[in-house]
Chain A
Amino acid sequence: MSLSIRIIPCLDVTDGRVVKGVNFTNLVDAGDPVEMAALYEKEGADELTFLDISASSSDRETTLDIVRKTADQVFIPLTVGGGIRSVADVNQLLRAGADKISINTAAIARPELISEIADVFGSQVLVLSVDARRAKTVSGFEVTTHGGRKGTGIDALGWIESACNLGVGEILLNSMDADGTRQGYDIEMIEAVRPITPVPLIASGGAGDLEDFARALDAGADALLAASVFHFGVHRIEEVKRYLSQAGYSIRGVSNQ
């Protein structure tokens, strides 16, 4: 056996609630992130990601509380992203029970933040989230901010290379072109990023059919993140894992005999 690929559901959280609609009948409260996290663990999620989309700092206190409650009852790795700007922010989240944190805009504004966090807590806690789209940069992929609405002019591959040198432990590659389309992961982008990325690569954005997950793995992804296909019940996690296992990929918790 070898290292299994990871299936990671992502929950957008604000003011203590999951924001994007969740379509499960067996939940008492579909908006409760702690309950959602516990359900996804039970269904076979290999990790969980919370994206804090809160606007105010009082909401952030609520998010810390959710991280605490989740860490108290969910025993798989938890990554938290959104609004992290300093080593102190990271420390707060780790102490609350997060295992990894992801940074995005703050690192674009101030790349030294990457080495500051890695020096204190190690690279393994640090995920760089890259929102990229097709544009006329060197590689043909540009880093964006504001959920893909604002271009930065920064070449995505160049940014990933320098971030890896600065000490990120993992890359979360979000395709802004594919995001929300359910037309499949951005295979060309994954194939472009894989050879220059010496750390694990998580593909995100566009998952729709079961075959989409397999294609992203063939393109070089180590892990697959998805939100809406899981939340809306298009696919269950166990269904995706069974499909991938039968297709011959190394999957935790599913025998491919």
Chain B
Amino acid sequence: MIAILDYGSGNLRSAQRAFETTGAEVVVTSDRKTALEADGLVVPGVGAFRSCMNGLLAIGGDEIIRERFSKERPTLGICIGMQILFSHGLEHSDDNDPSTEGVGVWNGTVSKLKAPILPHMGWNTVVAPKDSTLFRGIESESFYFVHSYAAKEAVGQQVSWTEHGERFVSAVEDGAMSATQFHPEKSGSVGLTLIRNWTGTL
């Protein structure tokens, strides 16, 4: 069973349907026990880093994610759901308002992309490591991105990269913990392949 963590973010219906194409049972939940026991947990997320963290903290989602990480239970963060796995986010911060603390699975800061046009919106390519599990069979494909902030330093065991104005981390595979900055559930058939590659590890 796959659980999609519901902590108040917008369109979860597409994510649910996309993961259901693998034939798996998919539930959308904010229940701690269900999220902890699921074979795979998907952490979606749209909006801003800070509002997402607030939503996540309200359901104890940070503890759920840390516990799954320490027990090596498969977890996949998507878009802001990837960003909040890092230790810090700079979105909506300024001199008087320091960075927002993330879940902290990985040490690193999510900062604004240096690009003339933001958000980075649309289909872009990903440079994935040769032995990547997520990108198996779809190594040179494009995926759908919508974001203005990103992590720029390598973390975890395997990192995939994409360029928009500068190079940023477009996916991380770190044992049981995986994350994509793009939306596999919105990336057509190649996105569904990535989802199957992930559910194949459960």
Contact = CB atoms under 8 A, between A and B. Distances in A.
A172 to B, nearest CB: 12
Interface of A: 1-6, 41, 46, 68, 71-73, 75-77, 91, 94-99, 120-125, 169-170, 198-200, 222-223, 252-253
Interface in B176-200: 183, 185-189, 191-192
A47 to B, nearest CB: 8
Main secondary structure of the interface of B (DSSP, over half): mixed
Chain B interface residue number, banded: 35 or more
B119 A169 contact: yes
Given A75-B188, A75-B191, A122-B46, A99 B117 contact: no
A196 to B, nearest CB: 12
B46 A252 contact: no
Given A72-B17, A222-B122, A252-B123, A121 B117 contact: no
Contacts of A223: 122
Given A124-B121, A169-B121, A75 B10 contact: no
B64 to A, nearest CB: 23
Contacts, number: 103
Contacts of A46: 122-123
B47 A77 contact: no
B105 interface: no
B11 A99 contact: yes
Nearest to A201: B117
Contacts of B122: 3-6, 46, 200, 222-223
B192 A200 contact: no
Given A121-B46, A252-B142, A75 B18 contact: yes
B123 A71 contact: no
Given A75-B192, A200-B122, A99 B186 contact: yes
Given A41-B188, A46-B123, 16 more contacts: A2-B124, A2-B163, A2-B164, A3-B122, A4-B123, A6-B122, A75-B14, A75-B191, A76-B186, A76-B187, A95-B11, A122-B46, A170-B121, A198-B117, A199-B117, A200-B119
